[in-house]
Chain A
Amino acid sequence: MGARILIPPSPKAGDVIDVRILIQHPMETGFRHELSGSVVPKNVLRELRLDFNGLVLLDAELGTGTAANPFIQFQTKLFESGWFNLRWVDDMGVQGSERVQCFLRTS
C-alpha cells in the first residue's frame, strides 16, 4: 500500500501552496458481503497524520463514508525547506508512511 504526497516543485516562502495526498487503501465499509455471505470486515484508515518538520499540518480520522484510495487536498504556507511526513494506521493495525522533501525557492 503506497501513497503519494504532491506538492508544487519549488514554492516561495509564504506562498499559499496546495498539498495533495493520495493513499492506496481499499477503505472497506464493513457493509459489504462476500459471495459466500460472510461480511467483509470494516477496514478504514483510522488515523492519518501529515507533519512538516515535526509541525502537524493535518490530523484526520476517516470514516466509512470515504471512498477507496482517499484523495485529500488542503492549502498551507511554508516558511522553510524540509520534509513532509505522512503516517497512517488502518483498522487492521497496518501502518504506512511516506515522506517527501520540499525546497523553498530563495529568489
Chain B
Amino acid sequence: MSATFAPRRVWAPWRSLVVVFLWMMHLSAYTLAQASTSSPGWLNPNERRSGLDFKSEDLQTQQNDDAINPAFLWVDQGAKMWSESATPQTPSCQSCHLHAPTSMKGVALKYPQWDGRTKQLINLEKQINDCRVKKQHLKPLSYESDELLALTSWIALASRGMKLEKNIAQNLVPAFERGQAFYEKRIGQNNLSCAHCHTANFGQRLGGEIISQGQPHAYPAYRLEWQKMGSLQRRLRACLSGVKAEILPFGSQELLELELYLNFRGQGLRLESPGVRR
C-alpha cells in the first residue's frame, strides 16, 4: 500500500470507539426491549406469529373475507353510532373526530396509554367512555355491551393492517414491568403462568385446540365460543378462568398492565381486528 493511507490507519482505533459509542447510545434507547428479551415470556421478532396461523382454513377464510366475517355486524353498528347523535343536544363522535377511517388511523394501536389527567393507565374502551361522559354527557357504556364493542371495533378497523409499534414512555415503565411480571407469574390452582402455554408451548395441542402465542392484535374479535364479539379483556379473563385463577374484573389495573405488555410483546404483527377466533 502507498504511504498515503498511513494517516488513516493511525485514526482507525479512534473511529471504532465512535462506532462503539453510537452503538451504546442506540442500546440505551432500547434498554426496555433489552431487559425483556432475556425474560421467559419474551418472543423474538422472527418467532411472532398471528393467532390466525394456528386456526383452521375455514376460520381463516371467515376472517379474511369481510363479507362473511360476522364481526362486521358490530362494525356496521359502530359506524352508525359514530355518525349519529344519541340525542338532538349531544354531539356525535363524528362532529368532533370527523371521518373515522381517516381520523382514527393508528389510534387503536396507541392504547393502553397513560392518561395524564387522571394519572392512570387507560385503554380504548375507557377512553370512549370518558369521551361519552365528558363531551357527550351520556352514560358510560358497560364493558362487553354490544354498543361499546361496536365502537371499539369500528375505531380499530381504521388501523387494520398497521404494525403494532408500542413505545413505552418513561412513565409507563413501572406498569409495563408489572404487566410483564404478571405474564410470567404462576397463578391459579393449575399453577401456570401465561408464559408456560403461550411462549414455551405455542403450536402444541391442548385438548382439541392448538395453543396460540397469546397475541392481542385481533381484538376486539368475534369468537365462535362466545357467539359474539368480545374485547381483549374478556379473552384474558377466559384464560384466567382456564388456569383456575381469580378472575379479575373488567378494567382492572392488572388486566390493563397485561394488555400493555402484550401490545409490546407482539410488536411487528399487523392489527387484524375485527378478527375471528375459536
Name A residues whose Cβ lies closer than 8 Å to a Cβ of B: 2-4, 6, 20, 22-24, 26-27, 67-69, 71
Contacts and interface: CB of A to CB of B under 8 A. Distances in A.
Interface of B: 67-68, 70, 72-74, 76-77, 80, 227-228
A71 B73 contact: no
29 contacts: A2-B73, A2-B76, A2-B77, A2-B80, A3-B73, A4-B67, A4-B72, A4-B73, A4-B76, A6-B68, A20-B67, A20-B68, A22-B68, A22-B70, A22-B72, A22-B73, A24-B70, A24-B77, A26-B227, A26-B228, A27-B227, A67-B227, A68-B227, A68-B228, A69-B70, A69-B73, A69-B228, A71-B68, A71-B70
A79 B37 CA distance: 63
The secondary structure that dominates the B interface is: helix
Contacts of A69: 70, 73, 227-228
A88 to B, nearest CB: 14
A22 B71 CA distance: 10
A6 B70 CA distance: 12
B227 A6 contact: no
Contacts of A26: 227-228
Nearest to B226: A68
Contacts of B68: 6, 20, 22, 71
A27 to B, nearest CB: 8
Contacts of B227: 26-27, 67-69
A22 B67 CA distance: 9
A24 B76 CA distance: 11
B73 A24 contact: yes
Nearest to B150: A2
Nearest to B227: A68
A26 B80 CA distance: 20
Contacts of A6: 67-68
